Structure 1
Amino acid sequence: MGPLRAGTALSVLLLAAGIVLRQPQEPKEVWGYVDVRSKAHMFWWLYYANNPTKDFTELPLVLWLQGGPGASGCGYGNFEEIGPLDKEMKPRNTTWLQAASILFVDNPVGTGFSYVDDCSLFAQNLTAVVSDMMVFLGEFFKGRTEFQTIPFYIFSESYGGKMAAGVALELHNAVQKGTIKCNFMGAALGDSWISPLDSVLSWGPYLYSTSLLDDNGLAEVTAVAKEIMDAINKNQYGLATELWGKAESVIEENTDNVNFYNILTKEVPEVKSDEKENLHLMRLYQRHVRKMHQSSLDELMNGPIRKKLMIIPDCVKWGGQSRQVFENMAEDFMKPVIDIVDQLLAANISVTVYNGQLDLIVDTMGQEAWIRKLKWPDLEQFSKKRWKALYVSPESTETAAFHKAYENFAFFWILKAGHMVPADQGEMALKMLRMVTQQQH
C-alpha cells in the first residue's frame, strides 16, 4: 500500500489561456492518490468547508459517491453538482461547502483519475468496491487527523447509493472495532440503485401515469420487466443486466427517447457503436456513464484541471478506464442490497433516502416499493407518519419537497428534480444537507 500522496492549491485555473485568478474566500483544498491494492490507485479530492461565520471544525465532513459504476465524483459531482465551481469555473451559489467539507473520490478504481496498472484489478462486485474504499478511508483518516472527530456522513447518487450502503456498514464495524478513527454519523442514499428490480417494475406504471406510454407501450415494458424479474429470481444477474438494457431500448422506442434522468428533458439518441463485442454493455455504458463525461467536462478535466492537480500520471486520461469499470461490474449490477439497509437501521445508523420526482431510472415509486420490504421493526410507525412540506426559504410559497422521518430513518421527496438532485434543485439539496447533518430542522 503506497503512501498518501497529495498536492495543494491556492489558486484556480480558468479555462481561458492559462489565466490564474484567486477566488474570494477560496476554499482550502488538497488531493492525492491512495494505493488501495498493489497497482490499483484511487484518486481523492478534499475541499475544506467555506462558511463566512464557521470554521471547518464546526461543520461536518461529507464523502460524495457518484454512480455509474464508473462515473467520476471528482469530475461530475464536483463541477456539475455540489463543488465550489461549475464547469465554466464560475462560483456555484449552492455549493455544499457552505455547510460541510466535501471529500470526492473516484471509485471504483478505474473511474475518473483513478486507475489500475493491470486489467485484472478492476472491482467486479460490491465486496471488492467496499474493501478498496475501506483501505482508502483508513489512510485518509490516519493522514488527516483533523477530521477524526468531525461528524462524518456519506452522501451518494445512483449506483453510488448501493456502494454507500456497503461502505457505511463496513465503516461502522471498523469504527466499533477501533480500526478506523472517525465520527461516522450516517448515510444518505440519493436516487439510489438499492433494489434494481423494484425500479424496473415501476418504470411502466410511472411512464404510463405521466402520459409517456400508451396501453401498447405499457404492455411491452411490463413484458420485458417480467423477463428481468424471472432472471433475477433464478439468480441470473448477468442476463438481468442484459435484459435491463433491452428494457431501456423498449422504453426509448415507445417514448420517443425519454430522458432516463429527467422525464421532462428530451433525450437525443446516442450514435450506435459498431463494436459487436458486448454490444448491450456498450450501449448501457454510453447511456449511463458516458453521459457524465460530456465533452465540455472531459476537456476541463483533461486540460486545466489535470494541469492544476500536477500529480496525474501522463498515461492516465480522466474517465479513460470507466467503460471497463462498468463492464466488470455487470454481473453485480442488478443485485439488490435492501438487506444492507436493514442492517444499517438495526445498527442504529442514520439512513436518509432522497429522490427526484422527475427521475425515471431510479423513480420514486420504485424507492417506495423497496422501503416497504424492509424488515426494520419501526417501518410501520414510519409509514403511518404524515409527510411535511418543505420550502427553500421562509419567504417561499412554492413546495420544494416533502419530508418524513422516524427514529433513524428519513425520506425526502424532492420536487422538480431528476436523477441528479443537486444539479436540478440546488437550493433544496443544500437545505436537505443541512437537515440531514442536523444544522437545520
Structure 2
Amino acid sequence: MAMERKIKVYSEIGNLKTVLLHRPGAEIENLIPEHLARLLFDDIPFLRVARTEHDNFSKVLSDNGVEVLYIENLAAQAVKDKETRESFLDEVIAESEIKDENIAGTLKNYLRALPEKEMIDNIIAGIRNKEIGLSEDNNEYPFIMEPMPNLYFTRDPFASIGRGITLNSMKNHIRHRETIFAKYVFKYHQEFKNSDIPLWYNRNEKFSIEGGDELIFSDEVIAIGNSERTSTEAIMRTAKNIFEARETFKTVLMFNIPKSRAFMHLDTVFTMIDYDKFTVHQGIEGNLQVSAITYDYKNKALKVTHEEDSLERILSKYLNRDITLIRCGGGDRVIGRREQWNDGSNTLAISPGKVITYERNYITNEILDKHNVKVISIPSGELSRGRGGPRCMSQPLFREDIK
C-alpha cells in the first residue's frame, strides 16, 4: 500500500523535511533571443552548468536531512493510468491554445506514444513544429507547444499553507500550464490522492496569485504580497477559505508592494531567516501599506484593517518580538542593487537561522554571518540568470513545528 503524504507548512523557518524541486531541462535550451520577454527571461542560462548547480542545490538539501522530490517524477507517476493520462493530455493541449483540431490530434498522438516520464519532459521542454511534421518557416514561432523555462521556480505554481495548498492562477499566460502538474499530482498520485489536502485557491479562478507572494510567518500569521503578480481578490478569497476551514492562522497580512518586475514577488523583497531576522531589499524600507485580514466567525465575514508603518514595526507587531532587518548588500547603493539583481534577499531557511543563498551575493552573505546566521552558499552563475533565488527554486511540503 502506498504511503500517504501530508502537507504541513506552518512557518518559513521550521526544520525542512520534504521539498519539491524541478531539475532544469531542455526547456532552458528552447529559449531564443527574440522570444525571451514572452517567456519572462532576460538571458539564456547554459543548461549543462545550470543542471550541475541545481544538482548541487539538491545535494545540499539532502546533506541537511531534507527529502528531495521532483515535480516531473511525481507528475509522470500520477498519469500512469491510461484514463488519467488522456485527460491530462487533453488539458495540456487545450491550454496550449492550438486552434486546428487536426494538429491538436497529431500532437496528442505524438505525446501519447511516449513513456510517461519522457512525455512529461517533452511537455515541459516545449514541442517544435518540426517534431510533429509541420514546417518551420523562418518567420514563424517554431513551437506548437511553448516551453516552460520558469518551472524550476517551483515556488510559484502552488504554495503549501498549513495542511493545504493554493493551486495558483498565474498572472502570465505563459506560466499557466505549470500548475497542471501540481493539479494531477495532488489529485491522482498514489501518495497524495487520499491525503485530504484542501485547496485554498484553485487554478481556474480568474484572479491571479503566485507562490512567491505567499509567506508563512508562524502558525498564526500569513503574509501575502499584493504585487504585480498577485491580486487583492485572490488574497481575500484565499484568506476566507483558510479561515473557514478553521486552520490555526488568525491573520493574513496583505502587503502592498510596487507593481513592477524589480519587486516581482514578496519574497523578492524580503524573506524570513530566523525567529527574529529577515533579509530585506532596501527599496521596500519606507512606509508600507498593509491590510490585516481577520475573520469574524459569528457573522461569517472577513474584517480588514489598513495600516501604514515601517516594515520593521509591522513585523515586530505581528510576530510579537523585536525584529532585525538585514539589508541586501548592507544597504550600499551599488552593492545592494547588484546583489538584489541576483536575488540577495531571496533566502531559503532550512531551519531557524540556517539558510541557503547564492554565493555570488557574498557581501550579503558576510553580513548574515555577522548576525549569527549559518549560511550555506551555492554556485549560481547560470541558475541566477532566471531571476530567482533559492526560495524561488523550492516548494516546501513538510516542515517541523517551530518552538
TM-score, normalised via structure 2 length: 0.29
TM-score, normalised via structure 1 length: 0.27
Larger strand proportion of the pair: 2
